[in-house]
Amino acid sequence: MFDDIYPIDDRCKPLYIAGPCAAESREQLLTTARAVAAAGVGWLRAGVWKPRTRPGSFEGAGDMALQWLADAKSETGLRTMTEVATPQHVEAALASRIDAVWIGARTTTNPFAVQQIADALQGVDIPVLVKNPVNPDVELWIGAVQRIYNAGIRRLAAIHRGFGSYEQTLYRNPPHWSIPIELRRRIPSLPIVCDPSHMAGRADLVEPLAQQAISIGFDGLIVECHCRPSEALSDSAQQLTPVELRRLIGHMRVPERIAAHDAMRDYRSHIDTIDNRLMELLAERMEVARQIGEYKAQHGMPIIHRDRFNEILEAAAANARRMGMSSRFICRIITEIHEESVRQQLTVADKKHDIL
């Protein structure tokens, strides 16, 4: 299975897709489309139907926006793409000669919804891109891809847009790169496109994430770009200006493709992403340590509690043995982290003392 998947577009590598989060008006879409085409992008993306968390938010212009996409295609030559979440969306998109569709993260989470879309696509030759589910579940992602494949779709791709998290992180949807790397291992023929806009949640973080994805070996990018991001009716903070889009494309460093049997690059990239996650977690831990230091300073509590540290070491050693790692190695790491945490708390306490 999956041996006969072929690319969405053979004309350009990597594949660049760009456009506004939502088609808000004909003028907004045409203005953005001209800028996207001028940046050298071949595909225009725009949401026509927008699944929003709360009612009352802008949920897209609906079917009439499909004509705006057609007008943009006619004027600029861009191929067009939009999200579908129901069989009715599929029918409307096909009737309007949309060039490709994608399935959103919330829809991917629901196998019933994906199957309904697959049934509506039966017998149709159109590229389909499947976003990862909201939760980091590679099986659910593969299942959604398989449902579309079983409908006869062979121009297929996955979109990695990051995963939801209850924790406070730098990103809106943390990448968890190990999940798409595992997807590639399981389905080597499936192109993977990165959506750094939804990962980042902020325009200034989009380019670094895009470069990470390309460096890992992703096949393209789908980036949100708006002619006037500050006026956008949805996701304004993460949409690039046309100038920023051109800069991103110009800055991308595309690694040379390696032989399929040589997995070393993927392994090294995987290590790099894990190291980045470790750094983020350590930074988060030190922030908590500073908060603890503030609390202790306010209540006249001692910085060091030896019994607490011993408990941490014992638990870490037990976990290390259970996971097949050296307990001595882990205890050494925990000791270094603890010492830095104490230093952070002392810094807070010293500042508090200076204020008093």
Alpha helices in the chain (DSSP H): 26-38, 64-76, 87-95, 105-108, 111-121, 138-150, 178-186, 196-200, 203-216, 242-251, 264-299, 306-322, 327-355
Structure tokens at 279: 């750094």
Once rounded to an integer, what is the mean pLDDT over residues 15-38? 98
Q: For residue range 323-335, what is the model confidence (pLDDT) as tens digits?
A: 899 988 999 999 9
CA 6/CA 156 separation, integer angstroms: 7
CA 170/CA 208 separation, integer angstroms: 13
Confidence label for 258 from pLDDT (cuts 50, 70 and 90): very low
Radius of gyration (Cα) for the chain, nearest Å?
Answer: 24
Percent of the chain with pLDDT over 90: 74
The residue type of 140 is: L
φ, ψ of residue 51 to 5 degrees: the values are -75, 115
Q: Using DSSP, state whether 293 is helix, strand or coil.
A: helix
- pLDDT of residue 262 exceeding 60: no
Once rounded to an integer, what is the mean pLDDT over residues 172-197? 96
CA-based torsion, 267, 269, 273, 278: positive or negative: positive
Confidence label for 259 from pLDDT (cuts 50, 70 and 90): very low
pLDDT at 261: 45
pLDDT at 257: 58
63 neighbors 38 (Cβ within 8 angstroms): no
Q: Which residue is listed with tokens 């121009």?
A: 155
Domains in the chain with CATH codes? 15-251 (3.20.20.70), 264-355 (1.20.59.10)
- pLDDT of residue 66 exceeding 80: yes
Residue 94's closest CA among 133, 120, 65?
120
Which residues lie closer than 8 Å to 311 by C-beta, 6 or more apart?
none
pLDDT at 81: 98
- pLDDT of residue 283 exceeding 80: yes
User: β-strand 43-45 against 79-84: which pairing, if any?
Assistant: parallel
- pLDDT of residue 263 exceeding 80: no
